[in-house]
Structure 1
Amino acid sequence: MAETTPGTPGLSKPTASQLLARLQAAGLVVATGTTEGRPGPSAQLYAVDARAAFAAGLDVTPDRIRAAVADITGATVGEFEVPTPRRQPESVVGQVTEALDGAVKDAGVARSDVHRLVIGTPGAFDPSTGRLRYASHLTGWHSPDLLDALAAVLPMPVEYENDVNLVAVAEQRLGAAHGHENFVLLWNEEGLGAALIIGGQLHRGFTGGAGEVGFLPVPGAPLVRQVTRTNSGGFQELAGAQALPRLARELGIEDLGHGPSAEVATELVARAAAADEGAYRTLLDAYATGLATGLASIVSVLDPELVVLAGAVIAAGGEPLRARVLAELTELAPTRPRVVLGSVGESPVLRGALETALATTRDEVFDTSR
């Protein structure tokens, strides 16, 4: 945050001085020096005390939990990561606390210094039951008592949010969607998902399932029934990470690399974006058409001003993929939103969790009416 002096625009000098004195007494700002080289008396300079409060975020995947702590200015001051092999369900509380405590220790603070924690997971916790839905692949997170068990060991308020929703928050606050109040973010890594920002606010739906577009029936893919049981759907089968290796084989591409499907898909898309012709270029065209096919249904219903393309698989395609998705979407949808690539490249889920936690924390600590 910028430094300030008692001559703050919009406030009289005595009022500004009194306000700064209250903030300094509360430990929220610190004196940083005085002005020099200006006519008249020197003015005292103040800055926000970065250690006035801390907030934390967790990014949960089937393979690991990544935690971070940020100070009140938004700077990340501690990070820690815990692998999450397929353990018993009761270990989830231990995994969460281990990750959080590691980040807190790295930040050089105590658990009690953290004002708020936001946890990002695939799927969403149903507000009526407290149970995680739409994420059967997240082992151990489906107990009906999980949220109560976490509340019992975590000394700060905790919020739970869908991981793709948090990416949209990060892009709205810091990235490609800054200044936009109506946009769709399409995410593709291990799975396909979307976040919907309507009137500047996240739209979560009745059970938290808004944006679970991987289940969307689309032309060009078999109709999948009992989608929550199979944890898939038409759009996921058409343009998800697992679809790209299959498409590559159909095009005669044999060197697919090794590793999880998302890593293989990311490598295939990167090669395709760099190719001028041949099978890889056909792969990129087909992938763009698949993405645009699902997006056309979303855009037709929501009519957003902006579509943000994000996630490792999409990011690997860069501008060549973005241009193709836009061209296809222009033909398939009745409206024509701008299509851009996400720009929050490093840990966007975790950044969105921190931004969400910080927004409430700042409101609380800077409430001078209390």
Structure 2
Amino acid sequence: MAEPGGGSGPREVAVASGLLREMNKRSLLERLFADGPATRPKLARAAGLSVPTVIAALGELAAAGLVREQGRSAPGGGRPAAVFEANAAAGHVLGIDIGRSWLHAAVADLTGTQLGTVDLRNVARTSAGLVDLIATAADEVAEAAGIEPIAITHTVIGSPGVYDPRRGRVLYAANLPGWQRVGLTEALAQRLNTSLTVDNDANLAAIGEHTYGAGRGHADFAYVHLGTGVGVGLLLDGRLYRGFTGAAGEAGYLPIGGEPASGRRGATRRGMLEERLGADAVVRYARDAGMPARVSAQEVFTAARAGSAPALQAVATEAGHLAQLIGGVAALLDPEIIVVGGGVGQNLDLLEPGIRAALAQLTPMSPRLVVAELGSSGVLRGAIATGVQRARELLFAATTEADRPARVATSTR
């Protein structure tokens, strides 16, 4: 507390000094990650700090293994200056994208550079089987990246549904058997022996497109994911919008499309709009138009590109229903662009004429539509981008503590 006369006591001065030192270290570390290697004088000028302050901060960061000397500069005259860089190998991130048919995994360093990838068939039909599959993917991708699993600082898993930390379970994941079991995320964190984030696949794809793809430079955009399921990721003022419970963007549950097609109720029930827009809906429209019974959604789009009349009819039906979602997003959020991705959404070139025709009948709004640049890797790239930020935070926090942060489940939204 303040001493008489309005001054500060030794403890308050020490605390303020410590906070300022940590702020300086964080600023310098973030600058090295963002701008690349730099000398101490250059960092001092860029950060508005004194050279002695920069020297002290870099010394602490180097002792923690977060920065390292890269070499020496070669100025036109005078003594060469030491050049420092962020140590990208100080930690590693594991990103996992869980779909109904496939599981994709990647390991990256602290700059987001991918060091190894693995793709496995999702043959799991129980929660225990899914945990085993994820653990196998983690081991295999770590080996592919040339690191030990213990070197992974943080893991991010993208999947259908919404993680509810209060209940410790994933909700609204009807397309992924076993994934909604209570306690599953805690079991995963223990099995992987890493801190863990579980997030919605459309949210992560939106982050991926914002960081690396079609959403770069746009503060307000929506990512519409069309695949096995349907979801929307929302970036508002450059930040992911999750809603009160984290379920913002669960567009598959919009009450559009008449009566629900499924008799299931509760957490296992598919949404009305998802019944009309998911990949199996494309197959259904194709069969109704006269295509063979055994056909996939991708085969429908391939046939449409070849001029098949039944396939083109199915695509037109899908586009008409998709226009209802697009029109709703435009009316509610008015985003700069709407990025469309996923296994079905990647065919935007075929879908857009029908979308535009239907929108003209539904709304005066004409939002700008662009296809996702990252393709099927959007969720995984978003998981890496999210994991890199969290891993840097954990490693930096360790520089202010006597021990490394506990590697426990920290599933976050």
Identify whether the pair has TM-score above 0.5, normalized to the shorter chain.
yes
Task: Specify which of 356, 360, 365 is matched with residue 395 of structure 2.
Answer: 365
Q: CA deviation at 1:32?
A: 2.5
What's the CA shift for 1:196? 2.4
What is the match of residue 37 of structure 2?
Answer: 3
2:143, 2:313 → 1: CA distance?
49
Instruction: Tell me which residue corresponds to 1:292.
Output: 323
Is the CA contact (8 Å cut-off) linking 2:138 and 2:192 kept in structure 1? no
Structure 1: distance between partners of 2:366 and 2:203: 23
Counterpart residue identity of residue 324, structure 2:
T
Kindly indicate whether the alpha-carbon contact (under 8 Å) linking 2:289 and 2:314 is maintained by their aligned counterparts in 1: yes
**Cα distance 1:228–1:200, how it changes in 2: closer, same or farther (>3 A)?**
farther
Q: Deviations over 1:3-26 (max 9, x none)?
A: 212223334444434433333232
| Secondary structure, aligned partner of 1:144 | coil
**CA shift digits 1:23-48 (9 cap, x unpaired):** 32322223233333634432332322
Task: Provide the C-alpha distance between the structure 1 equivalents of 2:184 and 2:260, rounded to a whole number of angstroms.
Answer: 34
Aligned to 2:16: none
* Structure-2 change in CA distance of 1:245 and 1:225 (3 Å): closer
Percent identity, aligned pairs only?
A: 33
Query: What is the TM-score with the length of structure 1 in the denominator?
Result: 0.85
Q: 1:161: how far off?
A: 0.6
- More moved, 293-302 vs 277-286: 277-286
Match of 2:299 among 267, 271, 284: 267
Letter in 1 for 2:38: T
1:255-303 Cα shifts (integer Å, max 9, x gaps) = 6874xxxxx212322443564x955544443332221122222332333
Where do 1:200-349 residues align within 5 Å?
200-219=238-257, 222-224=259-261, 228=265, 231-252=269-290, 254=291, 258=295, 264-273=296-305, 275=307, 280-315=311-346, 317-322=347-352, 324-326=354-356, 328-329=358-359, 331-349=361-379
CA distance in structure 1 between the partners assigned to 2:82 and 2:294 by the alignment? 61
Counterpart contact for 2:71–2:84, Cα < 8 Å:
yes
Q: Residues 214 and 227 of structure 1: is their aligned pair in 2 closer, same or farther, counting only changes over 3 Å?
A: farther
State whether residues 326 and 339 of structure 1, in contact with CA within 8 Å, keep that contact through their aligned partners in structure 2: no
Contact 1:68 1:78 in 2 (8 A): yes
Q: How far does the alpha carbon of each residue in 1:97-150 deviate from its partner, in whole angstroms, 9 at most, with x for none? A: 222122222222233322211111111223332222212332222322323322
Q: Are the structure 2 counterparts of residues 226 and 335 from structure 1 closer, same or farther at C-alpha, using a change threshold of 3 Å?
A: farther
Deviation at 1:190, TM superposition (A): 1.3
Aligned residue number for residue 196 of structure 2: 158
Taking the aligned partners of 1:186 and 1:239, their CA distance within structure 2 comes to 11
Q: Measure, in 1, the Cα distance between the counterparts of 2:355 and 2:117.
A: 35
Q: How far off its partner does 1:160 sit?
A: 0.9
> What is aligned with 1:261?
none
Tell me which residue corresponds to 2:103: 65
Q: Structure 2, unaligned stretches of length 5 or more?
A: 1-32, 401-413
1:183 paired residue among 221, 226, 240: 221
Give the direction of change, closer, same or farther, for the CA distance of 1:84–1:265 in structure 2 (3 Å limit): closer
Q: 1:227·1:233 contact (CA, 8 Å) conserved in 2?
A: no
Among 123, 128, 145, the alignment partner of 1:90 is: 128
- Residue type matched to 2:368 in 1? R
d(CA) in 2 for partners of 1:228, 1:307 = 31
Answer whether contact 1:67 1:99 (CA < 8 A) is retained.
Answer: yes
Q: Which amino acid aligns with 2:60?
A: R
Report if the CA contact (8 A) 1:55-1:361 is conserved: yes
Q: Could you list the runs of 5+ residues in structure 1 that have no partner in the other structure? A: 259-263
Q: Distance in 2 between matches of 1:201 and 1:95?
A: 32
CA distance in 2, matches of 1:331, 1:362: 49
In terms of fraction of residues, the more helix-rich structure is 2
Counterpart in 1 of 2:8?
A: none
Give 1 or 2 for the bigger CA radius of gyration.
Answer: 2
Mapped contact 2:342–2:376 kept (Cα < 8 A): no
Q: Is 2:386 the counterpart of 1:356?
A: yes
Aligned residues: 361
SS of equivalent to 2:188: helix
Tell me, in whole angstroms, the C-alpha distance in 2 between the residues paired with 1:67 and 1:235: 29
Tell me the SS of whatever aligns to 2:270: coil
Of 6, 15, 20 in structure 1, the residue corresponding to residue 58 of structure 2 is 20
